[in-house]
Structure 1
């Protein structure tokens, strides 16, 4: 943000009270044509923080695209205090190919931040995005889904040891927050370490729009805007219960010990108790059923969608719940609670 309240990037400027839709060039194709990412910049007429919303750093992760588009183009932001930088598709080549990574040498854009000029194609792209649209911001929300063949319940991933990130993560208002500092090269990890508090939102599965999850994420964005006083009419939401997963002993990926066809017995977001059968793995003749049980009582944050596995493939992501939180979730998920609704 410049001293006069304008948002500036290399080649452009957005004054207070203005909105710009930009197709910003970050690289070139084999034919020398520009690779351009869509960016919408809304600079409110009132002063306030500068925030970014980003999605599709992995090109096949689509849910976040709709979240960013709806905030930028469907919400009434006429009274916005501050500036909003909306980037619905970071990985344009991957999005066009409908694949997770950049087709150029199969690079992961979300392991390439903050990027570097004169380096690989992925790091050059990341550098253009980061220096122009991330560095000027005060905080950010990066939206993801699970990888192909798996699905996640909506949750936040954040470095909860950082007070500013902690504030942002709680403001989004999800039931589950997984505490981690972010791998090297990730957008949230590098931005947070640079003093730009950033959280990752995980929601659903690749290759589709899932309306219920999109609406939940939109409610989370509105809650964040309320926390940072960017929208007067918005309110910070309380999700009803919350658990913050802080250690490796509180979460685990349960993996297959045999290959076969998987019959998953619970959906994402389900509470399972220690010893419950999570899924059964069978062979094509159904004469060898291997039951996979929960090692502790917890919430199935992520589960397998593609029902075939090799030994070592992940089956579900299980996070442990404390006694009080577990009792709240048990009441919510009991048949009586379902019948009452």
Structure 2
């Protein structure tokens, strides 16, 4: 039998339950929704979690489609799932945990005796540590972003090659291969010897059907490639960026983008213009380097210095 929290599944079975992570302000138990899919045959263990940031719902959309589609009779190995990691942020539709104003994906491996967020990180890291592979499903918050996978361990890490392979297998088409901030699951888990990637499934308010479907395809690619399920994974070359340039507004006004998401841009190509409310152009911003137009803000109005867009740089194909 394999268990995660209250979910317990014998070989060839599936169960759902909850993973206790503390108590809320009213003293009632707080627990995360979890699932265990225990294959009929021995094999590897895959850990999947979603909604590490409470307003990033595409990963939840992936989980609710993937879990019902997997027949444990066809599965070799085990899949452990945390469907909603950042409980309080999800309830309030916020990015950070409002209880302690902390971002979950900056607190790994966590502290079981720490703050609300640190306890969630400790409980989910304990689950992830039981796995051979980890998928931490994210999105570009509520901004507009291409579908991509992030390798966050850094190029000199002993598991960099394995993480890069996992990113390629997931297959969003684009990979950001750049060492991430401390406290990210995709940095902490490789330090424990577990290849881990951070699929960023677009960026949207609510669920985006195209990005959810891309995530579902990615999970099943991983399951087939690593022999959890029979079948052939659809692996293709990925466009990799190793750098990331962000652009802010040099003046206040309304933004007009001159490039499309996913477009290859060249140095000095115009990325966006800023106009006043009467259409008078106030500023034009061009790319400092060639790359891929990666991410933009969603709303057009900006104040001076506010974030506008990002370009993935140092591009290659692997």
TM-score w.r.t. the length of structure 2 is: 0.91
Q: Judge conservation of contact 1:151–1:203 (CA < 8 Å) in 2.
A: no
Number of residue pairs the alignment of both structures matches: 312
* Residue of structure 2 in register with 1:57 after alignment: 52
Structure 1 residue 31 displacement after superposition:
0.9
User: Partners in 1 of 2:18 and 2:102 — Cα distance?
Assistant: 22
User: Partners in 1 of 2:204 and 2:241 — Cα distance?
Assistant: 24
Deviations 1:223-248 (A, max 9, x none): 11122011102x22234x422223x3
Structure 1 residue 72 displacement after superposition:
0.7
* Residue of structure 1 in register with 2:138 after alignment: 144
Deviations 1:316-341 (A, max 9, x none): 21123658x6xxxxxxxxxxxxxxxx
Report 1:324-335 matches (<5 A): none
Report 1:149-298 matches (<5 A): 150-158=143-151, 159=153, 161=155, 162-233=160-231, 235-239=232-236, 241-246=237-242, 248=243, 251-298=244-291
Match of 1:302 among 291, 295, 298: 295
Q: Judge conservation of contact 2:154–2:180 (CA < 8 Å) in 1.
A: no
Q: Judge conservation of contact 1:80–1:230 (CA < 8 Å) in 2.
A: yes
User: Partners in 1 of 2:302 and 2:31 — Cα distance?
Assistant: 38
Structure 1 residue 206 displacement after superposition:
4.0
Match of 1:315 among 287, 303, 308: 308
Structure 1 residue 214 displacement after superposition:
1.1
Q: Judge conservation of contact 2:108–2:122 (CA < 8 Å) in 1.
A: yes
Structure 1 residue 262 displacement after superposition:
0.8
Structure 1 residue 10 displacement after superposition:
5.7
* Residue of structure 1 in register with 2:104 after alignment: 109
SS of residue paired to 1:289: strand
Superposed CA RMSD in Å reads 2.0
Deviations 1:159-200 (A, max 9, x none): 363222122112112322111233211111111111111100
Deviations 1:63-110 (A, max 9, x none): 110111111123444301110112221111111100111110211111
Q: Judge conservation of contact 2:5–2:19 (CA < 8 Å) in 1.
A: no
Q: Judge conservation of contact 1:57–1:110 (CA < 8 Å) in 2.
A: yes
2:21 counterpart of 1:15: no
User: Partners in 1 of 2:162 and 2:291 — Cα distance?
Assistant: 28
SS of residue paired to 2:88: helix
Q: Judge conservation of contact 1:145–1:151 (CA < 8 Å) in 2.
A: no
SS of residue paired to 1:204: coil
* Residue of structure 2 in register with 1:330 after alignment: none
Q: Judge conservation of contact 1:61–1:145 (CA < 8 Å) in 2.
A: yes
User: Partners in 2 of 1:270 and 1:151 — Cα distance?
Assistant: 14
Structure 1 residue 12 displacement after superposition:
6.0
2:73 counterpart of 1:73: no
Q: Judge conservation of contact 2:249–2:307 (CA < 8 Å) in 1.
A: yes
* Residue of structure 1 in register with 2:90 after alignment: 95
Q: Judge conservation of contact 1:267–1:303 (CA < 8 Å) in 2.
A: no
User: Partners in 1 of 2:205 and 2:73 — Cα distance?
Assistant: 33
SS of residue paired to 1:47: strand
Distance 1:78 1:265, change over 3 A: farther
User: Partners in 1 of 2:66 and 2:288 — Cα distance?
Assistant: 41
Q: Judge conservation of contact 1:58–1:108 (CA < 8 Å) in 2.
A: yes
Structure 1 residue 266 displacement after superposition:
2.8
Distance 1:322 1:123, change over 3 A: closer
Structure 1 residue 291 displacement after superposition:
1.5
* Residue of structure 2 in register with 1:334 after alignment: none
